[in-house]
A and B are shown apart, each in its own frame.
Chain A
Amino acid sequence: MAVKEIEIILSRQLADCLNIPIFLVDPNGDLIFYNEPAEQLLGKRFEDTGPMPVAEWAVIFKPRDDHGNLIPPENLPLVKSLSLKIPAHGSFWIENIQNKTKHALSVTSLPIIGQANRFLGALAIFWENKQS
């Protein structure tokens, strides 16, 4: 068991207190925490799944653009934040896990760069685009 860095612990505690879906990933893209609002997006509960490797959670979403084309991973905000260590923003469509309806989502992600310049992962905040 690797004990989490304080920047990651604080990010989780913040996510835990917020009523918007948040994913927290480590530098490999493994999902180390998601909060209760994010459980609805994933259709899973963190209590049940615990952390999920990137190969497992990334395939749950099939993000598509306005024309219905699958968005390649390198264009997704969270992937950009991890690979380029920059904040990123994007919008796409996903299918709801339960009722198969389509949802327009916006995502803002930011890299977590801690003290002594340690790169520790990224945090993604999801918004449902009600107007679309």
Chain B
Amino acid sequence: MKVTFWGTRGSIATVGAQTQLYGGNTSCVTVSDKDTLLILDAGSGLRVLANQGFHKQFKHIHILLTHLHIDHIQGLGFFNLFFDPDAEIHLWGPPSSNTSLRARLNRYLSPPLFPVRMRDFNCKLHIHEVTQDQFIIEGFVVNSNFVLHPGPTLGFRISDGQKIVTFIPDHEPALGNPKFAIDAEWTSGYALAKSADLLIHDSSYSEKEYKSRRGWGHSAMHHALLFAELAGVKRLELFHHDPSHDDDELLRLFHHHVDGKWNFEVHLAIENSVIDL
């Protein structure tokens, strides 16, 4: 399978010369085989994908949303396929305790936040609510489960029978856990990430920033590394870069926390990069 990064930034799109290398678009990653495109999160990176017409080569299009924070859904309204009457799109994501996924999405996709309503999408749209689940999408088996982040938030573990990709873009497994990351049984997201070939994980903060942002739902870079080590993954892509971190700062953090310290492959996720698994 092929993994493509369309947006690697967290919280808000951060465009400029200083973020050119790692990218400024928000969370959007695709996992694909010959016929099927899984779009993981619909941040502003989805607009880039749509503009390039990347989706056109696939028969089956599925969008999987980890949660509904704005940086993970703001690209939805710019995915032109929603307005193609011949297109068929499946949308998967979590409901909340009292509100359906459709109603939750409608909050953003309606005035005054957005000019177009979801009911004006004229493709064939199938909405699937997922919580703690296992489901099959063409050649992929997807496991989803709740992870530590404010509001109902899922992580996805995707297998094509050969390789496993785990996507947990917003995650604070270290919250309130002085022994993080030692005890797998008591670590949020562990089962999703266990022995994955590729883990794409929240790495928003520096150590110092985390201290004043505890409980906001995100990890510091060293948390992502400790989590990946505990889960025994083969490769980690540090993801959801904080908007305040330009390319130089990301590289500085990377050298400080990563250089030569881990027995698995580690990268800062780069917008527009592709991994062949």
B141-190 contacts to A (CB < 8 Å): 146-148, 152, 175-178, 184-188, 190
CA distance A82 to B185 in the complex (A): 22
CA distance A114 to B188 in the complex (A): 14
Report whether over half of chain B's contact residues are helix, strand or loop; otherwise say mixed: loop
Q: Is B97 an interface residue (CB 8 A)?
A: yes
Stretch of A4-12, A56-64, A98-106 with 4 or more beta carbons under 8 angstroms from chain B: A4-12
On chain A, the residues within 8 Å of B187 by CB distance are 3, 9
Residue on A nearest B179 in the bound complex, by CB = A16
CA distance A115 to B187 in the complex (A): 18
Contact flag A9-B186 (CB < 8 Å), given A3-B191, A17-B176, A116-B131: yes
On chain B, the residues within 8 Å of A116 by CB distance are 95, 131-132, 146, 152
| Contact, CB under 8 Å: A1 / B184 | yes
CA distance A16 to B184 in the complex (A): 17
Residue on A nearest B130 in the bound complex, by CB = A116
Interface residues on B, range: 20 to 34
On chain B, the residues within 8 Å of A2 by CB distance are 185
Q: Is A118 an interface residue (CB 8 A)?
A: yes
CA distance A116 to B176 in the complex (A): 23
Q: Is A14 an interface residue (CB 8 A)?
A: yes
**B-to-A contact residues, CB < 8 Å:** 94-97, 131-132, 146-148, 152, 175-178, 184-188, 190-191
| Contact, CB under 8 Å: A4 / B97 | no
CA distance A13 to B186 in the complex (A): 10
| Contact, CB under 8 Å: A13 / B131 | no
Contact flag A5-B146 (CB < 8 Å), given A115-B97, A116-B131, A116-B132: yes
Pick the contact of A115: B152, B175, B177, B186 (CB < 8 A). Answer: B152
| Contact, CB under 8 Å: A115 / B184 | no
CA distance A78 to B147 in the complex (A): 27
Q: List 26 A-B contacts (CB under 8 A).
A: A1-B184, A1-B185, A3-B186, A4-B185, A4-B186, A5-B146, A6-B147, A6-B148, A9-B186, A9-B188, A10-B148, A10-B175, A10-B176, A14-B176, A16-B176, A16-B178, A114-B146, A115-B96, A115-B97, A115-B131, A115-B152, A116-B132, A116-B146, A117-B97, A118-B131, A118-B132
